Chain A
């Protein structure tokens, strides 16, 4: 079945470091791909998305490119801030269905 695999956390970085969180997926057809972020004590909110191959989603300095050849959607940011500390979820939505399938989440902790 369809699935999303994210790198295990926690990821601990110093402020201004470069961030990569790996995400790969398994899916039939051409899913849409998403990154959601969950700040402490809050619900999830959409960070960025890409709906077709080679699309790049971007928001708040974060970027991810939909790579169909490697079935990947890695999240990157050039310079993280303490306020980026959160749990990040990679997700896909199947072409023929309605369920959003999530990865297990990656906790990011940024220290000053």
Chain B
């Protein structure tokens, strides 16, 4: 089944404790992206990647890191989480060559709480 898989789905952690949210897609998509969803703010892009070893900042990259060593994986790293990073996070991917018109395929989301 074609899908984007995120883990963990739920996590409660404490300020400053490094964590990684994994994202994997099995559709051979080149483009991958991370969003956070907050009440009243909608979805905002954190980072995106056009292909392996190519990443770039989105609208709200502060406090986050990403890597793209393999095509299928795009982990989101919080080196020192803070309470303002409490949010619902979504990973998404897009097929190659679709450019402007291609849809995004979303994972089911990871709800992170930082105490």
Contacts and interface: CB of A to CB of B under 8 A. Distances in A.
State whether these chains interact.
yes
Interface of A: 31-32, 34, 41-46, 49, 51, 89, 93-95, 98-100, 102-105
Contacts of A34: 103
Interface SS of chain B: strand
B100 A93 contact: yes
A98 B31 contact: yes
Interface string B87-115: 00010100000001101101111000000
Contacts of B7: none
Given A42-B108, A42-B109, A46-B104, 17 more contacts: A31-B100, A32-B100, A32-B101, A43-B108, A44-B92, A44-B106, A46-B103, A51-B101, A89-B43, A95-B100, A98-B48, A99-B48, A99-B59, A100-B92, A102-B35, A102-B42, A103-B42
B109 A43 contact: yes
Interface in B29-51: 31, 33, 35, 40-45, 48, 50
10 contacts: A42-B109, A43-B107, A43-B108, A44-B92, A49-B103, A89-B42, A94-B100, A99-B48, A100-B92, A102-B35
A95 B99 CA distance: 9
B101 A43 contact: no
Interface residues of B, number: 24
B58 interface: yes
Interface SS of chain A: loop
Given A99-B58, A99-B59, A43 B100 contact: no
A100 B42 contact: no
Contacts of A41: 108
B43 A102 contact: yes
Given A89-B42, A98-B48, A99-B48, A44 B101 contact: no
Nearest to A4: B42
Contacts of B44: 102
A104 B92 CA distance: 18
B112 to A, nearest CB: 15
Interface in B13-63: 31, 33, 35, 40-45, 48, 50, 58-59
